[in-house]
Chain A
Amino acid sequence: MSASASPLALDPALLARIADLELAARLIVEGARLGAHRSPYTGSGAEFQQMRPYLPGDDLKHLDWKHYARTDRLFTRVYRETTEWPVMLAVDTSRSMAFADGRGVTKLQVSTLLAAALTYLLVQQGEAVGLVSHGAEVGEALPARTGRPHLVRMLGALSRTRAEGGTDLSGGLRRAAARLGRRGCVALISDLYGAEDVQPALREARRMGHEVVVFHVLTPEERALVARGDVEFVDLETGDRLVADATRIREAYAERVATFIAEQQRFATTEGITFVEAGTDRGIDDVLRAFTQQRAAQAGGRR
């Protein structure tokens, strides 16, 4: 199979570029297994958290004997328990994702490639990754699992996604959050079109304790109309038609799109959601790097 036969044939060069990225849970998660991420529980983890006066019943193996020798007081060393960080990828496969940019790259191709790269990174780090692809109805759905066999299944599921039907982002988000079972991360990859109730669904996921990440996939041609003259626009999802002078409405259109994006970003900031602009004109590695930097900044701000 040639490298370009499948959109999900991860380019070795891309993998090399993102190999140094480390995706870590920004929030405290409560996984069922031991992992690399902080747990709300203290216990046998390797990460030292604090020292506190000994209380009867404490395990004597955590007594700090050196400290007792110096001060003649008993202190217990408390360790933070670490756990896994399950991530559910909610990929929008509505018909609007079939829109392609000037190079012919569709938003769905970018979305699946981004999801594949995330899966690769997370699996490499031993994290559990699941998938819910959803248009008007749920398409591919895989529970969060770890391991390379699961990576293969994930890539296969992503390669089978097709942009068709309408949009039900809220339904997809709720399914993804429900499939996590416990606190984890829900990553929505979508253009956020056609779903007026996506913000309540995102807020709901946040209320459930999940970390929420939104990858907003847009083409440059959507941000600013490049067409000129009279154009009959056909809605990819509804089939509605609209004749308009693209030259005349270009400025008003760009202004409204910018307002829409700003509104989404403002909502994400308010709700503590990581919002990443994943334009089709950006490289996957750039998107992921911006994602990690943004999360690091957010984590730093919370300390």
Chain B
Amino acid sequence: MIWATPWAWALAALAVLPIVAHLWSRKQPRTLAFPTLRFLRAASPVSRRLHRVQDWPLLLLRLAIVMAIAAAAAGPTVASAWRDAAWRARLHRVIVLDVAVPADRGARIVDGLRAGVASSVVIGPGEVVALLDEAIAQATHASRVMRTELAIVWAGDGAALSTHDVADVPRSVGVRLVAVDSSTSPSDGDVTAGPPSVTIEATPDDLATRDVLQTRVQRLRLPAPTAAAVMVRWPGVDPKVLAATKDAPPVSPTPTVVSRALEAVASDPRVRDAADRALAGRGSTASGTPTSVADDLATSLEGVPLMRGWAEDARIVIGLDADATSPLGWWSIVAAAEALVRFETIDAAAPWTAQDIARTQREAAMPETPSLPGGLDTRVMWGLALGLLMVEQIARRRQAPPEVSDAA
């Protein structure tokens, strides 16, 4: 038996009320003069005192009512074997298979995961990070109609699973990490190849400004596993000279990460304020940024885009329609830096440990809230309490009226 709110059992203390009421309101026995107690003593060998409850059925009924109310308030869920089996049988499992897992072991594990569930789908084998978005999307979609679990068969090396990636999984979807080699910790893998850098490209006549900015954003990093470089491009800079830093890993940033980073920059009110002020000073300038793929991060009052961002190769490109020395350019850099710092702070790209795996495992077998069985049992318990109340009312009304005349 599982109780949603076990503290509600404190209501059971109210059971003393009917007991006290019955003891308090006991009827004094009528006095009846009788010729002899000879046969009464023989029939009633023990002369009983009055310290007793006189209407046991009614008292038991009232106690049952109190206990039923307390039980209903506690939210019961009867955890029986058949119910648990039925609960598990309604599970849809999305299985992500890491390419690093040996084929035979992977197949065996996948077979085990597919057994005992209502339905399942296998994604991969492939890079877990690359497959995770699709898996999350499928799991999220499936969780709308049935209980869904995301099972990741993970070798624990090669690619990295960031907490951020797992955090993308909705709470309604359970997470099961199956580490194929438990001795292999994610920390063993080369998850983050050094802090990602932000390279600021500028025209040769603007090197001073570039240096200043470079100094300010020196400590910026992108979260693993994307490790994408951020390139800030100024107008007039030839895109061809812009290149990723050498130390950036050849991993494409996922669209989700890029979008978040850009949104963080674009949502900074100072960026918008700077854009407005820059526009008021010199007006808008045209940009060669491919608008088909870029997101408008900041626009003028007239709707002219001032700052755009897009993913390009292994980099996040932020295109500014402003001079690097303008307030817009300056604040764009600052906002981007702060947003990225905050982004990193929120989703730390620390390598995974065995403890992380254990913490991330989210059991999907048991519901977060006992909505299905618990709700049913609770309603049944409330119904029982209501029924007992009605029976108690009927019993009270049917109690025999007190006798008005005695034999003597």
Contacts and interface: CB of A to CB of B under 8 A. Distances in A.
Interface in A198-221: 219, 221
Contact of B31 (A191, A219, A234, A253): A234
Contacts of B35: 96-97, 99, 107, 191, 193, 222, 235-237
Given A243-B47, A249-B40, A249-B44, A232 B408 contact: no
Interface in A80-112: 96-97, 99-102, 107
Contacts of B400: 228
Nearest to B46: A244
Given A191-B35, A231-B30, A232-B31, A242 B408 contact: no
B403 A245 contact: no
B33 interface: yes
Contact of A253 (B39, B49, B50): B39
A236 B33 contact: yes
Contacts of B39: 253, 256-257, 260
**What bracket does the count of chain B residues touching chain A fall in?**
20 to 34
B129 to A, nearest CB: 81
Interface residues of A, number: 39
Contacts of B29: 229-232, 243
B34 A235 contact: yes
A228 to B, nearest CB: 6
B27 A229 contact: yes
Nearest to A191: B35
B394 to A, nearest CB: 20
Contacts of B33: 99, 233-234, 236
B30 A232 contact: yes
Interface in B21-75: 27, 29-44, 47-50, 54
Contact of B34 (A236, A256, A260): A236
Q: Tell me the interface secondary structure of chain B in the complex.
A: loop
A231 B47 contact: no
Contacts of A97: 35
A244 B46 CA distance: 8
A165 B278 CA distance: 124
Interface string B180-210: 0000000000000000000000000000000
Most chain A beta-carbon neighbours within 10 Å: one of B27, B32, B35, B37: B35
A88 B55 CA distance: 53
A229 B37 CA distance: 17
Given A242-B47, A243-B49, A244-B47, A230 B36 contact: no
A243 B50 contact: yes
A194 B36 contact: yes
B43 A256 contact: yes
A242 to B, nearest CB: 5
Given A233-B33, A242-B37, 4 more contacts: A221-B407, A232-B29, A245-B44, A256-B43
Interface of A: 96-97, 99-102, 107, 191, 193-194, 219, 221-222, 226-238, 240, 242-245, 248-249, 252-253, 255-257, 260
- Ranked nearest first, the 3 interchain pairs of A and B with the lowest CB-CB distance are A252-B43, A96-B35, A230-B29
6 contacts: A100-B407, A219-B407, A227-B406, A229-B54, A236-B34, A242-B41
